[in-house]
Amino acid sequence: MNGDEIYGVDAINQAIDNLLLTEPGERLFNIPFFSPLFPLFFKKMDIGREELEDRAFTTIETWVGNINIIRSQSNIQTNNAEHTLSFSIHYIMSTGETGNYQRVIRP
């Protein structure tokens, strides 16, 4: 195994990072590939946490592929004072292996 290769949970977590940090229009040859979070950071949007989670989790499942998010064990917390989103995402890979993605995102 080459030191640059990643597999399993690490690969999925990196794919989630790539998706959540991609701005709209950043992928010129794949325009629909972007994070649903950027409009929330830069526009005044009044959506509830449930809708935010649904948008984010559906986007992750669509673009990352081969995972099913365990929504009952996953959440996104907002901190308006610090302008952050905290992710705790539990998922099952198509191989049956489980994974956990934890990240705090600041715009």
Mean pLDDT by 10 residues, the chain (107 residues): 65 90 73 68 66 88 91 90 89 94 88
Here the tokens at position 55 are: 């948008």
The predicted structure's pLDDT at residue 28: 67
Residue for token pair 């993605």: 101
Burial label, 61 (beta-carbon count in 10 A; 0-12, 13-18, 19+) = middle
Cα 102 to its chain centre, rounded Å, is: 10
Size (the chain), residues: 107
- The Cα–Cα gap between 78 and 84 comes to 6
The predicted structure's pLDDT at residue 1: 44
* Entry pTM: 0.79
The predicted structure's pLDDT at residue 24: 73
